[in-house]
Amino acid sequence: MRYYFHEHAETEFDRAVEYYEDCRHGLGIDFAQEVYTTIDRIIQYPEAWSPMSNNTRRCLVNRFPFGVIYQVKSGFVRIIAVADLRRRPDYWLNRG
């Protein structure tokens, strides 16, 4: 199974990497690796993670307060958001 990022999800992912890298050298890379590990888990077990709606699920990222919000569509995983869990919940709903 393959995956792709919604354009806003990719932007928020890049911003989070930059933020963590500004906090401490190497931390941005650690964050990116954790997100990609989370995506690998999603690809292996797409139905295993917490449902957010009928067709949207969330898998939590280890070590960081983020979740990967995704949908499975036609053999692809669509990453809707790399969501900072400290933000307003459901801010990503209009991306569906």
pLDDT the model gives residue 5: 97
pLDDT the model gives residue 96: 65
Q: Which helix or strand (DSSP H or E) is residue 80 part of? A: strand 76-84
Which residues contact residue 64 at a Cβ distance below 8 angstroms, ignoring those fewer than 6 apart? Answer: 20, 31, 34
pLDDT the model gives residue 23: 97
Could you report the per-residue pLDDT of 3-28, keeping only the tens digit for each? 999 999 999 999 999 999 999 999 99
The CA distance from 48 to 71, in Å, is 12
**Assigned fold of 2-87:** YaeB-like fold (3.30.2310)
Low-confidence ranges of the chain (pLDDT < 50): none
pLDDT the model gives residue 79: 97
